[in-house]
Structure 1
Amino acid sequence: MEVLINSNTITIYNPNSFDIKHILECGQVFRYFIAPTHARVLSQNHCADVIKNNHKIVIHCDDAQFFYNFFDLDKDYNFIKKAVSINPLMKKAVNFGQGIRILKNDFFEMIISFIISANNNIGRIKKTLNFICQELGQNMGDYYAFPKLEVLAQAPESFFRAAGCGYRSPHLTDTLNALKDNFVEFYRELKNLSTHSASKKLSALKGVGEKVADCILLFGLQRYDVFPVDVWISKVYKENFGGELTSTKAIRRFFIDLFGDLAGYAQQYLFYYKRSYKV
């Protein structure tokens, strides 16, 4: 895979480890839409339109360096795919989702997004986040930025209920109030903690359990030694990995021990394969 970059365009030739549908539909991001000819993805106040053109991908964006980092385009996914292909199932999952890349998304946006994601579905999450951005985010012309912490922290619980957050609404207001005066320090502390300690600290926030903490760590802090466990991962464990464990905590530990520092990548391949293919 060869990548060329200029100020507003990224071109990927022979994109064997880049498929925008795989990337956007594997549960790691919610501010996107996919059309027959292209896809659009938003992060913070940035926007990228991704177009497949024969044997290349062209990304038109407002900041090419931002999206080069966002799509983690300097990482060798061929090595990762080979390393996690430890059995026939993993080989099938990797082949099915061969274009997945774990995005380097904004930490704050991931906290809010994954609190909203708890016991939710992707369509509703997208709708809720779109409402929040349209109401409180900066108008960037043909899209809206994700609202800043200081703006969201002023929103009452009734706003989040109107956005469709339901029982998560007080969790959001509590967490925003907890973060508004010390977010930079909180972020720096998490970056310096072990993954286990960072998970415990995140889980002290309202609305953040173990699975949500793992998602925030994986997609917002690039901690790849985590393994978010949801209903699809529980099914794949039960049906394809022995199935003797019953608690999500034990299943999570099983997969982290199995895949080590690449556990987060393995989770994305398995999740996308199981949810899409339902095997």
Structure 2
Amino acid sequence: MYRIKPELFNLNYTLDCGQVFRWEREGDWWTGVVGNHVIRLSREEDSGELLVDSELPPEFFARYFRLDDDLHSIYESINRDLLIDRAINKYRGLRLIRQDPWECLISYMLATASSIPTIQKRIYLLSRFLGKELEDGYFSFPDPEALANADFPTLDRCKLGFRTERIKAAAEEVCSGELDFDAISRLEYRYARERLMRLRGIGEKVADCVLLFAFEKMESFPVDTHIRQTIQHYHIDDSYFETCKNLSCMGEWGREYFGHYCGYAQEYLYYQKRVEGFVPLY
């Protein structure tokens, strides 16, 4: 076990805000699976130090938690109104996480029309039946080959429902090289989104989540129910809403309104809405 002291970082907000699904909290400690490692983390409130129970080096966590992001500059960039100002001040230190593209892709394909506990259960079952056991009760996420070669009776045990054929097809594309993550990372945001949306079962919201969390496309602005309701409630008057009824238009609005780091703004607004609902601005 060792300690690191990151600047402007809140572990609880970062792991609880809904961007990752394989972390669970018990008391002051978080336990998660990242790659082939079971990791346990806690943050001391007084010192701000992060207690790390893992064989992974500090450099891993600096990259994973995007500690290289200049949050002070990002806050200045996205702080456009009272609503986002409130979210920034209340959830200060929430950082986006750099996720593995393969796991992120499948996780968000499993996330459609589902609650976070349901998503977590599906990912756990998928890892249990197709991954490798790392510790008692903890399993690695299945690699593309394991998922592509899985039979349907096994996948049915994972409770994936209508998503089963879609994620199996995505795994087959990755295995064949038709879906190339390195190529997607090199594409400009709009072209990368178009490529992901060629996969069956991936719409704009899922594509934007994957691009934001796994491909560092900061201009991604995922629009789900919480963000749609927030925009409608706080930002869009009746005359504008008549021309902005779909999620794609709201995503364009978010990119224009918040700028390059709109993905950060989205996560703060999403977390605020999910935890508190509609908040007063006085």
TM-score by length of 2: 0.90
Please give the residue correspondences for 1:244-263 in structure 2 after superposition, counting only pairs within 5 Å.
244=241, 245-263=244-262
Q: Is the 8 A contact 1:48 1:67 kept in 2?
A: no
**Does the CA-based 8 Å contact 1:156-1:173 persist in structure 2?**
no
Asked if 1 retains the 8 angstrom alpha-carbon contact of 2:144 and 2:172, the reply is: no
Residues 48 and 81 of structure 1: CA distance in aligned 2, closer, same or farther (over 3 Å):
farther
Q: Is residue 2:130 matched to residue 1:136?
A: yes
Secondary structure in 1 matching 2:27: coil
Q: 2:4 aligns with which of 1, 11, 35?
A: 11
Instruction: Report the count of equivalent residues.
Output: 269
Q: CA deviation at 1:44?
A: 1.6
Amino acid at match of 1:175: A
8 Å contact kept, 2:129–2:154: no
- Structure 1 counterpart of 2:277: 278
1:147 maps to 142
- 1:41 Cα deviation from its structure 2 partner: 2.4
Give the drift of 1:49. Answer: 1.2
In the alignment, structure 1 residue 212 sits paired with structure 2 residue 206: yes
Q: Secondary structure at the match of 2:134?
A: coil
Contact residue 137 and residue 145 of structure 1 kept, 8 A = yes
The answer to whether structure 1 residue 172 and structure 2 residue 171 are counterparts is no
Give the corresponding residue for 1:46.
Answer: 37
Q: Which residue of 2 aligns with 1:26?
A: 17
Structure 1 letter corresponding to 2:55: D
2:219 and 2:235 map into 1 onto residues whose CA distance is: 19
Match of 1:93 in 2: 87
> Unpaired segments of 5 or more residues in structure 1?
1-7
Corresponding residue of 1:35 = 26
CA distance in 2, matches of 1:261, 1:68: 22
Percent of aligned pairs sharing the same letter: 27
For the 8 Å contact 2:14–2:94, the answer to whether it is kept is yes
**Residues of 1 paired with 2:209 and 2:152: CA distance?**
24
**What amino acid does structure 2 have at the position aligned with 1:169?**
T
Alignment of 1:113 with 2:107, yes or no, is: yes
With 198-207 and 172-181 compared, the bigger mean Cα shift is at 172-181
Give how far 1:249 is off.
Answer: 0.8
2:50 aligns to what SS in structure 1?
A: strand
Secondary structure of the corresponding residue to residue 174 of structure 1: helix
Q: CA deviation at 1:242?
A: 1.6
Deviations 1:58-93 (A, max 9, x none): 222221232221111222212212221111111101
Kept in 2, the 8 Å contact 1:10–1:68? The answer is: no
Separation in 1 of the partners of 2:195 and 2:18?
Answer: 23
Q: Does 1:190 align with 2:184?
A: yes
> 3-state SS of the aligned residue for 1:40?
strand
Q: Residue 156 of structure 1 corresponds to which residue in structure 2?
A: 151
How much does 1:10 deviate?
4.3
Shift of 1:127: 0.7
Q: What's the C-alpha RMSD, in Å, of the aligned pairs?
A: 1.6
Unaligned runs of 5+ in 2: none
Q: Secondary structure at the match of 2:260?
A: helix
Q: Contact 1:160/1:166 (CA < 8 Å) preserved in 2?
A: no
Corresponding letter in the other structure for 1:113: S
Q: TM-score, normalised by structure 1?
A: 0.91
CA distance in 1, matches of 2:152, 2:206: 21
In 1, are the aligned partners of 2:38 and 2:134 still within 8 Å (CA)?
no
In structure 2, the residue corresponding to 1:232 is in which secondary structure? helix
